[in-house]
Amino acid sequence: MSNNIAIGTPVRTQAIINRYFMHAKKNLGQNFLVDLDAIKGIVKAADITKNDQVIEIGPGIGSLTEQLLLAGAKVLAYEVDQDLPEILHNELPQTIEGQELDQRFKLVMKDVLKADFEKDTAGFLDLNKPIKIVANLPYYITTPIIFDLIKSDLNFVSLTLMMQKEVAERLTAAPKTKAYGPLTLAVQSRMHVKYALDVKSTSFMPRPKVDSAVVVLSPLVQKPDISDYKYFDHVVKIAFAQRRKTLSNNLKTFIADKDEREKLITDLGLDLRVRPEELTLDQFIALSKALASRQA
C-alpha cells in the first residue's frame, strides 16, 4: 500500500500501528521516528546520494528506510521482529524512480550481531564498492554493534548512528571533560567521530525516557601507532579505574614501585599529579607503548 504521507510522521505511524494491531516492542528497543526533519537530518548526516549502497540496522516500520530510498539509496536492512516484513513490504513505496521496491530494498531477518555480510548481501550489494551504514539503533546494543562493525571486514565509508545522547557525548568527548573515558578512547583510537545532531524524545513514538543524538563514525585517514589494541584498551581501562585519583595511583596495577612509576610518567613529559582524563589519545598511546616495552 503506497501513501503520499511519509511513514515517519505521527499520523501515518499511528495508522500503521492501528492497521496491523501492532505495538512497539520494548525488549527490541523499538522507538519509531515520527519526525521528518530529524529523519532527513540523519539522511543528510549520512550524506546519502543517488546510487549509494546502504546497510540499515533495524528498519522498524520503515520511517528512515523510506527516506533513504527516496534519497536514491539501495538499502539492505537487518531486522529481528517477525511482525515487520509484511508491514515493510506493504508500506514502503512500491516503486522508486521507476524501479520496483525489490530492486531497491532487501530485508534480512537476522540479528545484525550475527550478520555474514558477504553472504547476506550477495546478489544485491557490491561489497567492493563503498557501503554506508545507517541506523536508529536499539540503545541496549549500541556499543556491541559499533565494535562488531569496526572489527568486521566490511569496507564501510561511514557509520551514521542514532544513539542515546549520553553515549554520543562519550564517543565524541574531548579530554578534561566528564564524558571523556575508556569508551571515548576505544572508539577515537579506531574511528573518526563526529557529533551530527540532537534528536528530541518527542521525535519518537513511543517517546524514550532519554534524549538522543546522531553520531557519524568514519575510518581514520591516518591509523594511530597501536600494534596491540587489546593491550591499549586494557591500559586505558586501568588508567581510569579510579578516575578521581592520579594516573600514577591507577598505574600501581602495572608498576608497584613508586619511583619506577613516577619515572615512567615524567619520561612521558607528564606531570606527576596528572589525572587520567587529562591525557590526550596520543599520550595514552605513548603510555601504552611505554608500559608494553617494560614487559617485553
What are the residues binding ligand SAM (CB under 6 A)? 28-33, 57-60, 63-64, 78-81, 111-113, 136, 138, 141
Closest to ligand SAM by CB, 28 or 70: 28
Closest to ligand SAM by CB, 24 or 268: 24
- The rounded radius of gyration (Å) of the Cα atoms in the chain is 22
Closest to ligand SAM by CB, 81 or 233: 81
Closest to ligand SAM by CB, 67 or 184: 67
Closest to ligand SAM by CB, 108 or 292: 108
Minimum separation from the CB atom of position 29 to ligand SAM (A): 5
Minimum separation from the CB atom of position 50 to ligand SAM (A): 21
264, 255 Cβ separation under 8 angstroms: yes
Closest to ligand SAM by CB, 16 or 287: 16
Minimum separation from the CB atom of position 89 to ligand SAM (A): 15
- In degrees, rounded to 5, the angle at the alpha carbon of residue 254 between the alpha carbons of residues 249 and 256 is 65
Minimum separation from the CB atom of position 79 to ligand SAM (A): 5
Minimum separation from the CB atom of position 166 to ligand SAM (A): 16
Minimum separation from the CB atom of position 175 to ligand SAM (A): 31
Distance in angstroms (rounded) separating the CA atoms of residues 80 and 131: 21
